Structure 1
């Protein structure tokens, strides 16, 4: 991967990564790389200016950068300095490549579509990885939970991961002790595939014999939004939670503390942002965190259901459909018997789930089968979506999300690096 870096990606790496930056011993080295939030603001300036693309910055002087982008002199100096360290960055990239570690940015076609679709502005600017990069765009089921998981939670996690492997779902986990590693090991033992989203120590992890064996087989992919040599920091561990959700079609919480911890924070953040449907283990003896997450909108699921249901996909779809329908009924009753003047618009709750399926053309009947929703109800939501400009018609029967619609080719495309959704 590192041998074919595009000019745009090279510019982004120079501006936003620490690769090779710490090796510069010059006293002048007082400039830090741009954070994700800083890059979002800077890239918006770039695309709205005559510069248009990051790679064009290579051809500009410091004064031109300041003038074209309307930046303070200090920021223009910072950009020019960071862009001038190509040699040190190239050396570090070669070292990483020799370890089997690749690097991609939002400008690369291999960058996961689901990150831009689900996380939008929260998508990491840079991803480091080791393993088969194609796994980034597989259908994944996130499995998350506490490090100190209870015995029944461990059993649930193991059985869920094995079901994922048998039904060709890639397991997405955090690679940490407890639920993460139970899910990872169970899926790999069952012959499945795993994407482990790390918050630190990618370079050390990839050197472990058992990890390397699975990477070489193509069954394990390690990724991280943090430098491969980074140490553990609590903020990094919390920050990577959203990346697990961003790679998942569904996410399942096996075990969670109430009101604290990474699992709780990630799950509540997902419920608020409505990234993906969230399922919570719900059976006798579950932690209080599980119970509270269900009360906040999580969808309960038990170990017995994993054993009794023929298809995991069918189980999750059915549970999601019932959850949506129950919410609809509750909202109707809520609106009738209270004085609230502006009831919650259920379309805004449901649409993110429908839109995720519309990354390729579907008819309304196909959508109903995919999401297990009545055709009459789906027809209402599709009409709403069309009136809001959220879908495009490919032909008389097929529709696709406007996010993925290509006017010329009528087929899926990678979202452009500079497309920042506003809703």
Structure 2
């Protein structure tokens, strides 16, 4: 690993937990939104993060006082010894670290995520693979053997076309697709939300990393465990690194696969989103079809797979309907929910659908009009209740330890005002409580096992 740039060192000191052993980690870390404000302020001052480590840092810290507490920043910047321990550990495991200030940082992430680009990326393997694009393949962790085989065959097809496969490294669909590509000699990008170090050190991954066929990357500390917020945010990176995406399977209205695909279809629109069109029916895939996802055309060779990459992201978007105001408190008048009508695939079959593969003999579901998930005629409150039901369990999982409203907003990628609306509603329902020490919202013990 190359020596860390001064900018990267400063960003790590301000934002990274620097997990080494079992020591207690700093509670003062700047959240992504706080660091974003600080970085913007430094830019306005025509300064950069590395200047906070210089001889004249005291004056700069005072100039930054309007956006972040001076003493808090000083405490974080004083973690130099802990940083040196973490860097030594990373280097011994061939883990590299780059920040947005480094030239090696993936340009496609900056171009697509803009201000939401992770300040730091950790990784292991050939970093150049992050710029190659390719097909993102995502799906549920718990799937039948048939879908594991299907995902592996997709990975092999991507490899045969000399395209990169991008996935999340989770058990089930993600891992099967990655294995299929690697076994066929293909290139793979694994975007992890947890345990980068453990994964990079595993025997199964090591040879592929050494051969240059695999790169593992994460926006979170190499030793960070599972966190539902991290898993949700990881989805953005998977889609942003790809040229097209295939959802093999998903639950309806819940889970990370569903949330990531919906965010892509409804908001981000980086790439065209396809859904599996053969095999067992899926209510979740039907729900994505209603939001504009395209039926997978079942390409059978490298040449036909290239047709998938010719589809533009906007081709998967249904016509926009008028925005619907959410019921909100006084400070979130601008929060809105985009509501669209379900597409009728009986009248408008996908022009890209070929004959299904021999192994999956079930005909594509072109004659099925999915059940309406959002396209109902309820009043505004009904639509808001539907959205609330979708995020309810996600919020409960986030609040297993005291969490501030701003942190919830970052994890769910909504405004702080909207997060407050949902949190207040859960307080009123007796699901969570707001405590003072440590400050934040936390789920009630009686709700943990429901």
TM over 0.5: yes
Q: Which residue of 1 aligns with 2:111?
A: 117
Q: Which residue of 2 aligns with 1:137?
A: 131
Q: Which residue of 2 aligns with 1:59?
A: 54
Distance 1:70 1:76, change over 3 A: closer
Does residue 1:290 correspond to 2:285, yes or no? yes
Q: 8 Å contact 2:194–2:220 — kept in the other structure?
A: yes
Deviations 1:211-251 (A, max 9, x none): 11111111111111111111112222222111111111111
- The within-5 A match list for 1:194-213 is 194-213=188-207
- The within-5 A match list for 1:23-422 is 32-50=28-46, 52-59=47-54, 64-71=59-66, 75-272=69-266, 273-283=268-278, 285-302=280-297, 305-307=298-300, 310-317=303-310, 320=312, 323=315
Distance 1:322 1:251, change over 3 A: closer
Cα distance in 2 for residues equivalent to 1:16 and 1:30:
10
Cα distance in 2 for residues equivalent to 1:19 and 1:178:
30
Q: 8 Å contact 1:237–1:262 — kept in the other structure?
A: yes
Q: Which residue of 1 aligns with 2:7?
A: 8
Tell me which moved more, 241-250 or 276-285.
276-285
How many pairs align? 322
Cα distance in 2 for residues equivalent to 1:175 and 1:24:
28
Cα distance in 2 for residues equivalent to 1:269 and 1:83:
35
Tell me which moved more, 3-12 or 92-101.
3-12
| Offset at residue 153 of structure 1 (A) | 3.1
| Offset at residue 67 of structure 1 (A) | 3.2
Distance 1:189 1:21, change over 3 A: closer
| Offset at residue 309 of structure 1 (A) | 7.2
Q: Secondary structure at the match of 1:43?
A: helix
Cα distance in 2 for residues equivalent to 1:114 and 1:22:
34
Q: Secondary structure at the match of 1:206?
A: helix
- Structure with higher helix content: 1
Cα distance in 2 for residues equivalent to 1:215 and 1:196:
11
Deviations 1:324-361 (A, max 9, x none): 7x96xx78xx99xxxxxxxx9xxxxxxxxxxxxxxxxx
Q: 8 Å contact 1:62–1:77 — kept in the other structure?
A: no
Q: Which residue of 2 aligns with 1:417?
A: none
Cα distance in 1 for residues equivalent to 2:21 and 2:76:
12
Deviations 1:300-331 (A, max 9, x none): 114xx2226733112442x549947x96xx78
Cα distance in 2 for residues equivalent to 1:44 and 1:322:
31
Q: 8 Å contact 1:196–1:222 — kept in the other structure?
A: yes
- Which ranges in structure 1 are unaligned for 5 or more consecutive residues? 336-343, 345-423
- Which ranges in structure 2 are unaligned for 5 or more consecutive residues? 323-337, 339-450
Cα distance in 1 for residues equivalent to 2:214 and 2:97:
17
Q: Which residue of 1 aligns with 2:353?
A: none
Distance 1:239 1:93, change over 3 A: same
TM-score by length of 1: 0.70
| Offset at residue 23 of structure 1 (A) | 8.0
TM-score by length of 2: 0.66
Cα distance in 2 for residues equivalent to 1:316 and 1:151:
28
